[in-house]
Chains A and B, each alone.
Chain A
Amino acid sequence: MRALVRAEVLKLRTVALPLWLLLTTLALVLLGVLATILTAGLEGAPLQRDDPQLLARAVASASGGNVVVLVLGILALTQEFRFGTATPSFLVTPRRGRVLGAKLIAVSGLGLVFAVASVVVALVASLALLTARGDSTSWDSVGEVLLGVVLVMVLYGPIGVAVGALVRNQIAAVVGALAWTFIVEQLLVALLPSVGQWTPGGATAAVLQLGDLATAGGEDLLPVWAGALLLVAYAVVLSVLAARLTLRRDLT
């Protein structure tokens, strides 16, 4: 299994895609930080400039790349079918579940790399901006939020791999996943949190402690630990489903 994980890491390292996605992620993180801090204190904004949670809210933007990591996971799998590398992959390792497992691990690892880079950028940018404006730089809840960011970034990749394995068609998987996270989930979490809190997006908001910010009526989402468990459950259940349902199909 170690050899297989090494191979999957090598697959990711020998194409340009991860680098571009990392740059995209960091750009999204910066935008998120800027938006959070620059709107703080404006009329109608949920945060005040002396809010002790301001730094925590700002660095929560480090999770802005979660969708990028999701797409990375989807592409890591669907490209094998699109470019036909699934054939040599499954010839070297006929037990297809092991290939899937190794890919899940490798993509999680890359998610961790993305998470660390995102956290560093978010912290540096937030502290610089807040200090420059003379706003609150209280570290209240920052530790928990950063832990949540890492968790989210590590789990979205495997969820993407599993979705990719279930859908197989690259365009359908990417478009479907984006439509789901940006439209369906956002609406569910904001307008119908009793349902939305159980979606991956709802669980993510819970882990990042965005609760009352994410929902339109300021309702609470799941507790942090439950959100974390729910995300793990999504990754595991979707992977098992993929291994059982779609992975064994004929490769012609």
Chain B
Amino acid sequence: MATTLLLDGLTKRFGSTVAVDDLTATVRPGRVTGFLGPNGAGKTTTLRMLLGLVRPTSGTATFDGRAYEDLAAPTREVGTLLEATGFHPGRRARDHLRVLAAAADLPRRRVEEVLAQVGLVDAADRKTGGYSLGMRQRLGLAAALLGDPPVLVLDEPANGLDPQGIRWLRSFLRSLAEEGRTVLVSSHVLPEVEQTADDVLVLSKGRLVRSGTLAELRSAARGGTAVRTPDPARLRAALEAAGSSATDAGPDELHVPLAPERVGELAAQAGVVLHRLAPAAGGLEQVFLDLTADAAPSDGAAA
């Protein structure tokens, strides 16, 4: 069941644009791997190379050593959801899945099962032309699940989903990984994978700028405490008296390089009223922004 994905020196040039630049990474089973990068970073291009839709300029991408084209039954081995996957607008959703199931030689029963899994049973007989963005996304997910595959490669699966849909997707991806499957999910926003991913690959301008566990990324985050008080001057004085410091983080708000518990204690001792006391938000987000900004030459002459 466990399948490891290996990207090895993967490179793709479109004319003078380097969409993906010498990308080497491992995606492990039993974990959700977030594939992050801003718009145009090369996520979709990477996934399309992985799936044999785009021919790499150089490098390889393999599933336990086999290229996608060489898999005996791709639909049973890798479930895929890609950006810009289309549906014939005049074809009913159920028929779309029936076509794929027929081509993959899967039993008809699977169509009904995945329709139920993504919550599309009631809309299954409608033509996809009348589907909303979120419904299309669910239908795409249903297609990815058809072969009950040990590997899932999903390009921005949360696009267009409503909050319930996103929550469902998160727990669904987690449960798939807990079953030992390999789950690779791309996103251009960190919070989307923050609660789901175990590992992250961060791509910027086609280059891998970070890979590792989400925990590692988190520990690189700034940390500290965000605190709001009507009397920042007195709190600052109390903190400095205790050997710490504080920086302004907005009106009535300070950032303190201490744990929230310690800040609370010092404030109580000094009798300062607090309106808010929390771990500094956006720490991880900031790491992500820094990472993807660093490798961004503004002239775009990446060659």
A10 lies within 8 A of B53 (CB) = no
A94-B69 contact, Cβ under 8 Å, with A79-B88, A88-B85, A88-B143:
yes
A10-B95, A79-B88 known; A88-B100 Cβ under 8 A: yes
B90:A251 contact, CB within 8 angstroms: no
**A85 interface neighbour in B71, B80, B88, Cβ under 8 Å:** B88
B98 at the interface (CB under 8 A from A): yes
Known A14-B91, A85-B88, A250-B55: A3·B105 in contact at CB below 8 Å: yes
A250 to B55, CA, bound (A): 6
- Contact yes or no, A14 B99, CB < 8 A: yes
**B256-300: contact bitstring with A at CB < 8 Å (1 yes, 0 no)?**
000000000000000000000000000000000000000000000
Find out whether the CB atom of A3 lies under 8 angstroms from the CB atom of B69. no
Across the interface, do B86 and A252 meet the contact criterion of CB distance under 8 Å?
no
Asked if A90 and B100 make an inter-chain contact with CB atoms under 8 angstroms apart, the answer reads no
Whether A183 sits at the interface, judged by CB under 8 Å, is no
Contact A11 B45 (CB under 8 A): no
The interface residues of chain A lying within 8 Å CB-to-CB of B74 are: 91-94
CB distance from A36 to the nearest CB of B (A): 35
Which residues of B, 46-75, contact A by the 8 Å Cβ criterion? 48, 51-55, 68-69, 71, 74-75
- Measured between beta carbons, the chain B residues less than 8 angstroms from A88 are 85, 100, 143
Kindly identify which residue among A84, A94, A252 contacts B52, using a CB–CB cutoff of 8 Å.
A94
CA of A11 to CA of B104 in the docked complex: distance in angstroms? Answer: 14
Interfacial residues of chain B within 75-123, with CB under 8 A of chain A in the complex = 75, 80, 82, 84-92, 95-96, 98-100, 102-105
Max chain A C-beta neighbours (<10 A), residue from B74, B98, B103 = B103
Residues of A within 8 A of B85 (CB): 84, 87-88
Which residues between 191 and 213 of chain B lie within 8 Å of chain A, taking CB atoms?
Answer: none
Tell whether A136 is near chain B: CB-to-CB under 8 Å.
no
Contact B75 A92 (CB under 8 A): yes
The residue on A at minimum CB distance from B146 is A92
Give every chain B residue within 8 A of A10 (Cβ-Cβ): 95, 98-99, 102
CA A176 to CA B69, docked complex, whole Å: 34
Q: Please give the distance in Å from A47's CB to the nearest CB on chain B.
A: 42
Q: Mark A1-27, 1 if CB is under 8 A from B, else 0.
A: 001101100110011110000000000
Asked if A83 and B53 sit within 8 Å, CB to CB, the answer is: no
Docked Cα-Cα span, A7 to B105, in Å, equals 9
Are B75 and A85 within 8 A (Cβ)?
no
- The answer to whether A15 and B69 have CB atoms under 8 Å apart is no
Q: Which of A221-252 contact B (CB under 8 A)?
A: 248, 250-252
Q: A6-B102, A94-B74 are in contact. Are A250 and B89 (CB under 8 A)?
A: no
Of B53, B68, B96, which is within 8 A of A251 by CB?
B53
A71 CA / B73 CA spacing, docked (Å): 33
Distance (whole angstroms) from the CB of A2 to the closest CB of chain B = 9
CA distance in complex: A83, B136 (Å): 13
Tell whether, in the assembled complex, residue A15 and residue B102 are in contact, meaning their CB atoms are under 8 Å apart. no
Using Cβ atoms and an 8 Å threshold, which residues of chain B touch A16?
90
- Of chain B, the residue at the smallest CB distance from A6 is B102
Known contacts A14-B99, A250-B54; A91/B45 CB under 8 A: no
Is B84 touching A85 in the complex (CB atoms < 8 A)? no
Q: Would A85 and B103 count as touching, CB distance under 8 A? A: no
CB distance from A28 to the nearest CB of B (A): 23
Instruction: Return B146 CB to nearest CB of chain A, in Å.
Output: 9
* Complex CA distance for A236 and B86, rounded to whole angstroms: 29
Instruction: Give the distance to chain A from B93, nearest Cβ to Cβ, in Å.
Output: 11
A89 close to chain B: CB less than 8 A? yes
Least CB separation from B12: chain A residue: A250
Q: Which of B53, B84, B88 contacts A90 (CB 8 A)?
A: B53
Residues of B within 8 A of A84 (CB): 84-87
State in angstroms the CA–CA spacing of A84 and B69 once bound together.
Answer: 20
Q: A93 — which chain B residues lie within 8 A by C-beta? A: 74, 103
Give the chain A neighbours of B53 by CB distance below 8 A.
87, 90-91, 250-252
Sample of 27 A–B contacts (CB below 8 Å):
A3-B105, A4-B103, A6-B102, A6-B103, A7-B100, A7-B102, A7-B103, A10-B99, A14-B92, A16-B90, A83-B86, A84-B85, A84-B86, A85-B86, A85-B87, A87-B82, A87-B84, A88-B100, A90-B53, A91-B53, A91-B80, A91-B82, A93-B74, A94-B51, A250-B48, A251-B54, A252-B44
Enumerate chain A interface residues (CB-CB to B < 8 A).
3-4, 6-7, 10-11, 14-17, 79, 83-85, 87-95, 248, 250-252
New contact pairs (15) apart from A94-B71, A251-B53, CB-CB < 8 Å: A10-B98, A14-B99, A84-B86, A85-B86, A87-B53, A91-B74, A91-B82, A92-B75, A92-B103, A94-B51, A94-B52, A94-B68, A248-B55, A250-B53, A252-B53
